[in-house]
Chain A
Amino acid sequence: MADAEPAEVAAVQSLFDNVDTDGAHLQRYEIDGQVPRAAISANTIDDIERAHSVATSRDLAVIPIGGRTMLGLGMPPRRYDVALDMSGMDQVVDYEPDDFTISAQAGMTLASLQQVLAANGQFLPLDHPRFEQATLGGICAVGRGGLRRNSLGGPRDWLIGMRMVKADGTTIKGGGKVVKNVSGYDLPKLFAGSLGTLGAIAEVTFKLRPQPASDQVVALSADSFEQALAASRAAARAAPFLDGCLALSAQAAERAASHGAEILDDRPALVLRASGLESAADEVLASALDAAGLAGLHDPPRRTTAIVESWQAIVDCELDTPADHVRLRLGLPPGNLERARSLIDEHLPEVSSWVAAGDSGLLFVTTPSVDAVTISSLRNALGPLQGRLTIESASVELKRAADVWGPAGPGARLMHRVKEQFDPNGTLNPGRYVDGI
C-alpha cells in the first residue's frame, strides 16, 4: 500500500526474486490509488510459480500485470501487495504458419504478435485498444470482444490452448495446439475474462486467419450521433457480412481524427469496414452504403488506405477518457441500441462522447459526471432491453458506490464456488471482480 512502513516493504521484498525495489517504479503499477509493496518481473513460468507460492504462504495479494492498458477496470483491489509484471515474457513459443496456430508467452504485445503473423500473411482477428502496449495475457484476462465482435468474436473464440499458474504455484494447462479439440474441460474459456482472479496466464495458443486480400474502411458524415446510429443499424441489417459498423458522435470522431483516423473530422460519422476478396468487400460495402443513404447519410464516403491506423485510432478512443470523466460500457442486443441511447439521454444530464458498434450491440458513453443513484436507475431502465452496463473508468468513490459490474447476476453463486476452488485464499486480484470476488 502507498502508506506501508519502509521496514514492512523491505520485508515483503526480501521474500521474492527479481524484485524491483525502486519506489518510483512501483507507481507504474498503481491501481485505483493503491501502490504495491513489491513488483516482481516474471521471465519464466518458474518465476510465476515461486512468486505465487510465496505470496500464498504469506497471505500476500498478487495482481498479475501485462501492458497496463486496462488497470482501471474492475473494483478497487481489496488488498494489493505484489505486482507480478509479465511483460518480460514476450516470446513466440511455437509457430508453424501452415498450421494456422501460434503459441506465445503472455507478456507479448498484440502488435508484436501481429507483426510476426503479418510476415506470413496471417493475423489474429482481435481488436484491442493500444495494441502496441496491450499484452496477449492481459487481453485474454480482460476477455472481451471489441468493436468488431459481431464478425470476429472475442479472445475466447480464438484461444485454443493456455498455460496458467494457479495461486498455489501449480502450473496447469487446458486445450492444446490444434484448432478443434474437446479433450477435457475448456479451461482456457474459464480463464478468458477472469481478470486474473483464478491464476496468472503464462502462455496462450490461438488459431489464426489468413489476411484478407482486400480490407476497406470508409466513413460518412452524419448530422447527429442519433442519425449515425440509425444508419449503422440499417447498414448492419442490409449487409450482415460487414466486418465493422460503427457510429461515432462528433467528439468521438474528432478524438479519433486527432489519433490518426484521417477519414474522420469533427462531425458525427458512420464508419464501415469490409474485407475479403476485393469484389466481395466492394459488394458488401455497396449494400451497406445504400442502406446508409436511405437512412439519410448523403455525404460522399471517404476512403483511406491507412486501414489499420484509422481503425486502431477509433479503437483507442475507448481508453482516451479524461481523468475527471466517467466511461460506461453497455452491451446489449444490437436491435435495442437505439432505444438504449434514448434511455441514456434521458438519464444523463450530459454526454461528452458516444461510440456504438451497430452490428455488435456495444455502446461506449463518456460523461463528465454521473452519480451512483443515476447509474442504478439507468441499470434498472436498461434491464428490459437486456442491457449490461459496466463502469470502465471512474473515481474510486463512484466505483465503490455504484459497483462497476452492477448487481450480481444469477450465475454469481457458481462464480464464487469457482473462485473458491481455484484460489481459496483469495491471493489473486482480491475484490476487483464481480460480486466482490
Chain B
Amino acid sequence: MVRELIDAIGEQAVVWHDEDLIVYEYDGTIDRGNPDVIALPATTEDVVNLIKIANKYEAPVTPRGAGTGLSGGALAAKGGVIIGMNRMRAIFDIDVENKTALVQPGVVNLDLGAEAERHGLAYAPDPSSQRACTIGGNVAENAGGPHTLAWGTTTNHVLALELVTADGEVQWIGHETRDEPGYDLVGCVVGSEGTVGIVTQALVRLVPRPTAVRTLLAVYDSVRQASNAVSAVVASGIVPAALEMIDKMTIAAVEPVLNTGFPLDAEAVLLVEVDGPDSQVEAEGARVEGILNRFEPREVRSATDPEDRETLWAGRKGAIGALGQIMPNYYLLDGVVPRTKLPDVLDSVYEIAERYRLPVANMFHAGDGNLHPCLLFDEREPGATERVLDAGGEIMRLCVDAGGAITGEHGVGLEKRDYLPWIFSEEDMDAMKSLRAAFGPTENFNPCKIFPKGHGCGEAGHQHAQHQIAKFGPKAFV
C-alpha cells in the first residue's frame, strides 16, 4: 500500500518510517494512536487517489489538520493512513464585495484572519489554537473561540464545501448564499469530526471589521463575584463580542511567563470585549464597566488600541501553554451548561478536583456557559492519569446533570465517545449513524470516533469511561 501511495503522490509526500510516525501519534489529548503511514496530498485529486488506495487495502483513513484537536479526532485509532492536509494551504480568493473567502483546508486560521483583515474584513471563529489550527480542522470540529458569543461558531460561517466522501467521490455541497435547494449538507458535515469525508476546499463567510473595539478586564476576589458579574452582563441586554474568565490557578501559571500584571492572590479575572460602531462601543463599554464595578472588583482595566488589547488578552490566549509551569501534563475538558447553572457547576468542579487531589485551572467562555476545567497532573506519577480521567468523567457527568452537554467546541472524538449515551438515546445515535451511512462506506473513515465503543476499537483509547458509566448509569439523563 505504501508503494501505491508513493506512486500516487510522490515519495516526499509519504511518511512511513517508525521514527517519523511518532510525531503523528499525538494531538492535544491524553490519548495516542499509531498510524501505519502518513500521506500529504497537494490537490483534491491526490485526496481522491489516496482514499481509493486505502479503500482497496481496507485501511482506515484518518484526516488530520494541525493536530491541535482536543478530543482525539485526528488520531489514527485503528492505525491505517493519516491524510494530513497541511500542504493544501492556498487562499484562492477573498471576495470583498460579497464578503467570502475560498480556501484550502490546510490554511491556518490566523493566516485567513490576517488576509481578511487586509481587505477590511474578519473571519469570526477564533479558537485559542488559531496560530496553528487549520480551517479544515475547524470545519471538522465546528470550532468555536472567545468571539463566538456574538458571531456564532464555525457552522455559522461555512457556506459551501468541496468534499471527498469515503467512497472517493468529489462534490461541492452548499452555496455561497445558502440558496442551494435541498438538505443542509454543509450543516451536517461541519462538526462531523472527519467521519464522513475530507473537505478539500471551503467557501467561508467573512464579517465586517468593527470600527471600534474595547476590551475590559476586571479582577475579582472570588469566582462567585466574577460569575455573578457574568450573569449581570448577559442579563443586561448587551451581547458582548467576548466574555471570558480565568481563575487563580490560571493566573498563577500565566503571570510569571507573560507578565500580565495580574495580582497572584486574585481569584478570578474577567475579560469582556465589546465591538461595533464607535458610538455603540463607547456606550456599551461604559455600561459594561458600570456592571463590572457593581460586583466589587479589585480593579478594572480597559483598552481600545490593538496593542493594549492584545496585552489584556495575552493571559487568556496563552493560558494553556503557560500551565506547563505548574505540571507537565494537563487534561482539558469542554463541558457546557445553561448559563444560569454556571456558578454552581463551577463550585462543584473545584470540589471534584479537590476530592481527586488534582490542581485545576479554569479558563473559559463564561458568556456561553462553556467551561474548560483543566486538570493538571504528571503522567509519570503512578495512577495519576487514571485519577484525571475519573475526575474528568465526573465533571462531564456534572455538566450533563445540569442540563448541559459533554462538549461545546472540542468535539466528542475518541475521548468522549463512551459518554455520548449520557445525552443521546440509542435511537438518537442510530439516526446519527444513518446520516453517516448516507455519505458512503464510512466504517473505516476516521473509525472509533464520536460513537460508543464498537467492534475492533477497544484497543484504542482508554477504558475509564466504562468505569464512570458503571458509576452513574448509562442513561441517567436520556
| A-to-B contact residues, CB < 8 Å | 96, 98-101, 121, 143, 145, 149, 153-154, 156-157, 166, 170-174, 176-187, 189-190, 192-194, 198, 209-213, 237, 240-241, 276-277, 279-280, 282-284, 331-336, 360-362, 386, 388, 390, 405-406, 409-415, 417-418, 420-422, 433-435, 437
Contacts and interface: CB of A to CB of B under 8 A. Distances in A.
Which of under 10, 10 to 19, 20 to 34, or 35 or more describes the interface residues of B? 35 or more
Contacts of A181: 336, 405, 407-408
A386 to B, nearest CB: 5
Given A157-B152, A178-B408, A184-B432, A282 B279 contact: yes
Contacts of B406: 183
B206 to A, nearest CB: 10
B318 to A, nearest CB: 22
Nearest to B208: A240
A411 B180 contact: yes
B287 to A, nearest CB: 9
B179 interface: yes
12 contacts: A98-B235, A98-B340, A101-B338, A172-B425, A178-B338, A185-B435, A280-B279, A331-B178, A332-B176, A333-B100, A386-B175, A415-B183
Contacts of B191: 182, 185-186
B427 A190 contact: no
Contacts of B439: 414, 417
Contacts of A177: 338, 403-404
Contacts of B183: 190, 193-194, 198, 411, 414-415, 418, 434
A126 to B, nearest CB: 14
B200 interface: no
A308 B377 CA distance: 56
Interface in B122-176: 141-142, 144, 148, 152-153, 155-156, 165, 169, 171-176
Nearest to B434: A421
Interface string B231-248: 100111111000000000
A171 B284 CA distance: 44
B368 A241 contact: no
A154 B141 CA distance: 21
Interface of B: 95, 97-100, 141-142, 144, 148, 152-153, 155-156, 165, 169, 171-185, 187-188, 190-192, 208, 231, 234-239, 276-280, 282-284, 336-340, 365, 368-370, 403-412, 416, 420, 423-425, 427-432, 434-439, 450
B283 A277 contact: yes
A437 B182 CA distance: 9
B340 A99 contact: yes
A270 B304 CA distance: 35
B404 A172 contact: no
Given A153-B152, A189-B184, A386-B177, 19 more contacts: A143-B184, A156-B184, A172-B425, A177-B338, A182-B408, A184-B429, A187-B432, A211-B237, A277-B284, A279-B280, A279-B282, A280-B276, A282-B279, A361-B179, A409-B182, A411-B182, A414-B165, A418-B438, A434-B182
Contacts, number: 254
Nearest to A332: B177
A26 B20 CA distance: 70
Nearest to B424: A184
Nearest to B439: A414
A100 B234 CA distance: 9
B64 to A, nearest CB: 18
Nearest to A212: B237
B339 A100 contact: yes
B188 A189 contact: yes
Contact of B277 (A100, A280, A417): A280
A102 to B, nearest CB: 12
A100 B178 CA distance: 26
A360 B178 CA distance: 11
B327 to A, nearest CB: 27
Contacts of B236: 210
B426 to A, nearest CB: 10
Contacts of A121: 237
A172 B181 contact: no
Kindly list the 5 A-B residue pairs having the minimum CB-CB distance in the complex, ordered from nearest. Answer: A331-B179, A189-B187, A280-B280, A240-B208, A210-B237
B438 A420 contact: yes
A388 B182 contact: no
B136 to A, nearest CB: 16
Contacts of A96: 338, 340
Contact of A172 (B180, B284, B365, B427): B427
A422 B277 contact: no
Contacts of A185: 188, 191-192, 432, 435-436, 450
B336 A241 contact: no
Nearest to A168: B427
Contacts of A418: 183, 185, 435, 438
Given A182-B191, A414-B438, A172 B277 contact: no
A335 B234 contact: no
B280 A277 contact: yes
Contacts of B190: 186
A113 B188 CA distance: 27
Given A156-B184, A414-B185, A173 B408 contact: no
Nearest to B408: A180
